[in-house]
Amino acid sequence: MEARRYKVHWEIDTVHGRGSHHCIVTLLERKTGFVMIGKLPDKSTASLNKKTLRLIGRDLLSFKTITADNGTEFHQYKKREARCRTTFYFANPYHSWERGSNENVNGLIRQYLPKIESMAKLTQQRCHQIADKLNSRPRKRFNYKTPEEMYYGI
């Protein structure tokens, strides 16, 4: 448990495709670069809360804080705070660098889900596959260890 204590600060964002209301939510652990991706049928707070709670539930003890941008989909953050015992923070408007790690991983996700493509046919299974590929990609900042190795202390 000691090794995981500092791995509790996350960033959250939504990534949209072309033409449909379908999108994804990304949760990124700041220290390790570990990412979780969830498919959303729309950008509503209800859809976001449901999927976020499901993703957080996979490793509830690893969530202490979550930082988001000021999108309307994050406005019901109190429900997530109450259910997960986590504190929600918001970056200053138009300060994307305050969530720079998440913006970077969203760019990496675009290698698999280009902006010009619709996300209507995207499945949750494909989201897990993309997250697995990103989590197993060695990073220079970790001396070529993967986010998965950093997160799980392998």
Helices (H), 5-76: 45-56
Residue 2: the pLDDT is: 42
Cβ-based neighbours of 77, under 8 Å, separated by 6 or more? 66, 68, 88
Residue 90: the pLDDT is: 87
pTM: 0.88
pLDDT tens-digit series, residues 91-118? 887 777 778 788 889 999 999 999 999 8
Residue 6: the pLDDT is: 66
Nearest 10 degrees: Cα torsion 82, 84, 75, 103:
160
